[in-house]
Chain A
Amino acid sequence: MSEIKKNGLFQSSGERLVNGIVKENPTFVLMLGMCPTLAVTTSAMNGLGMGLTTMAVLALSNLFISLLRKVIPSRVRIPAFIVIIASFVTVVQLMLEAYLPSLNKALGVYIPLIVVNCIILGRAEAYAYSNPPIPSLFDGIGMGLGFSFALTCIGALREFLGAGKVFGAQVLPASFEPIRIFGQAPGAFFVLACLVALQNYIKIRLKKAGKPNEKIGSGCTEDCMNCSDKGCKKRFYDTTKEIQMVDLEEEEEK
């Protein structure tokens, strides 16, 4: 009996890992947490550092929220989540200050801003609050790995184009003139625009071939608070205010 239970637990944990990295990759598929994605991906190393930092917070907060899910009343769950997340962010920030001061300096203000990263609150609400601790932990790790993977890719691309390097190692010959703009703010927008366009392209191709793949996300870059898609599964805030806002926009369109 316990064997089966263990097996089931193992299976669901593994499934959560794969889900976070591939099926529901937070950056490429769900389009969540865009602020750090654009801000810190000036190099592959910074992207990886930010991804792993977020993963640590995400895994720990998922675990604790899942452990406390029967204690937290649902009416005050959002403030409770925010306090738990903010505490872990502070812990991680102090650790980075102590052991990796250079990374801490490079990421700067974006470390405390992990608190308002939509991925973390989104996973807390969508998964951890209604599932047991171990799968929640692995859900956090999977999502975190997916986020790290995406950030490292974008960082490597920008570093390659903007400085001719990857992970600080010179890849292109010195005679190549790097396209500096990719290392700066505008480059981040361009790289992301091309990635989203590529995703849209694949989606359109799949649709034309007659097999629309629903797992490739809606391509919205809006965070859940500002999402105007009422039927969106990612939405986790259910305030009537938001609906009013959407109605307002629709009225204006008319």
Chain B
Amino acid sequence: MNQVKDLLVILIGSSLVSNVVLSQFLGLCPFLGVSKKVKTAGGMGVAVIFVITLASAVAGVINRYVLIRFDIQYLDTIVFILVIAALVQFVEMFLKKMIPSLYQALGVYLPLITTNCAVLGVAINNEQAQYGILTGIVNGFATAVGFTVAIVILAGIREKIEYNDVPESFKGMPIVLLTAGLMAIAFVGFSGLL
């Protein structure tokens, strides 16, 4: 029972309170880059949920059964980044072969995720917080859900901004950054949840 409570706290904490993009600044690049349309943003979000959950599972297993077992935790960065890069490649090949319909939907986003710092960030956070494998997976899933929520909201706002009269020097990135800043203030409000 206690464990369920802990997992719930992690679920809410990682997805809303300390949102991966808006308070930790991880995965900022796709957040700003792929948020012009709600549809593409949603696709990216689903792909990120898929990859981060899988990557935190694999990184957790490797951390426990390889790094800790052989006492080589100082190699964590190298091992994790290689595992993530290989995993993304593998997932892409697997989906292409086995589930073409899902590949159609997620395929284009997958190569973009390798350099998404949120994936590596979650793996390292899980390790530093000494989460178990299950807790790590829950944390990864919650973080990715937080990313999806943030990017879909931003895309929704950006679609509306298109029709607004923005000062010329604030067109493009600056207005998006200001919007993100206001969203970050809104997400600070979630800290009352825990």
Contact = CB atoms under 8 A, between A and B. Distances in A.
Interface residues of B, number: 55
Contacts of B114: 225
A79 B82 contact: yes
A58 B163 CA distance: 42
Contacts of A219: 172-173
B30 A226 contact: yes
B115 interface: yes
B170 A197 contact: yes
B181 A241 contact: no
A226 B175 contact: no
A160 B15 CA distance: 31
B184 interface: yes
B29 to A, nearest CB: 4
Interface in B64-115: 74-78, 81-82, 85, 107-112, 114-115
Q: Is the interface of A mostly helix, strand, loop or mixed?
A: helix
Nearest to A241: B111
A227 B28 contact: no
Interface in B10-63: 22-30, 32-34, 36-37, 39-40
B185 A197 contact: no
Contact of A184 (B37, B117, B171, B188): B188
Interface in A174-228: 181, 184-190, 192-194, 196-198, 200-201, 204, 219-223, 225-228
Nearest to B19: A185
Q: Is the interface of B mostly helix, strand, loop or mixed?
A: helix
**Size bracket, chain A contacts:** 35 or more
B178 interface: yes
B174 A194 contact: yes
B177 A196 contact: yes
Contact of A239 (B77, B111, B184): B111
Given A196-B174, A204-B168, A225 B184 contact: no
Interface of A: 31, 34-36, 38-39, 79, 82-83, 86-87, 89-90, 93-94, 109, 112-113, 115-116, 118, 121, 181, 184-190, 192-194, 196-198, 200-201, 204, 219-223, 225-228, 239, 241-242, 244-245, 248-249, 252
30 contacts: A35-B117, A39-B24, A79-B82, A82-B81, A83-B82, A90-B78, A109-B121, A109-B124, A112-B120, A116-B117, A116-B120, A121-B115, A186-B181, A189-B180, A189-B181, A190-B177, A190-B178, A196-B172, A198-B169, A200-B172, A200-B174, A201-B169, A222-B29, A222-B32, A225-B114, A226-B33, A226-B112, A245-B108, A249-B37, A249-B40
